[in-house]
Structure 1
């Protein structure tokens, strides 16, 4: 199924583009010119999350922001599993389709492992890496694993599918970023039905189910991308990917890592501190 929602051009002033991957039709934006940078969102967001960052960088970079299948305006294809491995394979197809070379990758939340999985296989074409509040290693903290277990139960899966729980409570709830009503609707209305939310329901399970992939990434990222210029833009108030646990792991994985601490930002850093992110990327990758 496809999503009928049409973004407000005042909030999302980009031309929609489409790629027919082997698994389904992918929506993305491709704005500006210059060195390419691929933006990967996590759950329960879509490329709308990067709107301020794209607007701030498209005068000097070619900004490509993708909606993973099951998210945003992309298709919800029958038979697709919505796993991290499957999403990464589709992203790799898009990168190859666009013939990107010398590109930057930015990933946040699940966009980190999705993007890194796609780029480790294309390391010779990667210019650098930008990561924000994510992990590419097995997720061990008890709170994260408890969240996965609870959200994977039948009652909570039903609430995700029927009540849009992850959007309404985690993104748009009181601990989420400050958004206008119109901005909130852009997150809410791209997940309009139970059938549209199947990808959302898979993501909490992947915290545990994707362990083999994350173990592989924990080895491959330092080996294949560890010598690339890297930037971490980190929301220091995030309780999902806590800086005291994650930043030392990043420093041990990349030999040329710069860290920008976003002291007032929580998990959704692109909403909380877009101007700081724009400035950090422009300074790190002039």
Structure 2
């Protein structure tokens, strides 16, 4: 039974109801660097910039390729930087088969690499994108030269405390299947402020980017379909990683606790771990220059092996 307060809550948020944005409208807003490629019958949005050894960067849930903008500006001077919008997110949209399994995402990465002609490449990922990256590396260790993981999932589910109280009340009252009715700019801003240590970085421009991606037709439902999927915790794939690995983590991360970093370090034998004080869930944005330097220093250890790199 819906309480009186719940009805007031529903009335408040339905006045803030935001409609889906069509794919065509979002496409019209892309720049010349956006490209599209068909993977398993689905049109995938990606960017492929720079020349040099190839690195694929994977965003996390509800993210998009734009999260890597700052790193890309530096990396593309020396590397070929490939950033896809993963299925269910960004301009790519939900998978045709509604398969949100980790196995399907690792297959996607391998298929993308094959389609782009990459024999060997670096692979990086953030949050859930980090888990997709290391699970892919465990499957094809001979093709992944090195791994770069930023606050990867694997031991902890996304911290419920990182969702605003308003989001949690909405889920509890109306169910996740009705989230399209309680999506608002206010909620998104409140949520994003949980992701950043530096609150001033949650600008109107940043909110616009996330909101446009969330409102892409079908993406809100895909987001919660993904969350409802029973993704494994303490993935057995972690113990199978033989690829040299860099892990970067913000010590003020409220989404995936930095304490998980030591768990990865205790299992992965060839690992370099760097943490940053007063940085939240997005070191590549909040602490972009230093974190990118750390990444390039790490990757530089492997660049003298020509067979490892794909050049554009």
Quick check: TM above 0.5? yes
Alignment equivalent of 1:222, drawn from 239, 253, 259: 239
* Alignment TM-score, normalising by the size of structure 2: 0.76
In the alignment, is the contact (CA less than 8 A) between 1:164 and 1:191 conserved in 2?
Answer: no
| Residues 1:268 and 2:285 aligned together | no
In the alignment, is the contact (CA less than 8 A) between 2:195 and 2:254 conserved in 1?
Answer: no
| Runs of at least 5 residues in structure 1 that lack an aligned partner in the other structure | none
Q: Match for residue 160 of structure 1?
A: 179
User: Whose RCO is larger (CA < 8 A, sep 6+)?
Assistant: 2
Q: Match for residue 257 of structure 1?
A: 271
Alignment equivalent of 1:126, drawn from 134, 139, 144: 144
In the alignment, is the contact (CA less than 8 A) between 2:171 and 2:179 conserved in 1?
Answer: no
Within-5 A mapping of 1:195-234? 195-206=218-229, 209-211=230-232, 214=233, 218-223=235-240, 225-226=241-242, 228-234=243-249
| Residues 1:114 and 2:137 aligned together | no
Query: Which protein shows a greater Rg?
Result: 2
Aligned-partner SS, 1:189? helix
| Displacement of 1:201 | 1.0
| Displacement of 1:94 | 0.5
| Displacement of 1:194 | 6.2
| Displacement of 1:161 | 2.7
In the alignment, is the contact (CA less than 8 A) between 2:91 and 2:216 conserved in 1?
Answer: no
Q: Match for residue 59 of structure 2?
A: 41
* Alignment TM-score, normalising by the size of structure 1: 0.82
Q: Match for residue 188 of structure 1?
A: 211
> Within 1, Cα distance between the matches of 2:275 and 2:28?
31
Deviations 1:1-37 (A, max 9, x none): 735315867xxx7611222111511111111111111
| Residues 1:56 and 2:74 aligned together | yes
> Within 2, Cα distance between the matches of 1:5 and 1:84?
27
| Runs of at least 5 residues in structure 2 that lack an aligned partner in the other structure | 1-21, 301-312
Q: Match for residue 97 of structure 1?
A: 115
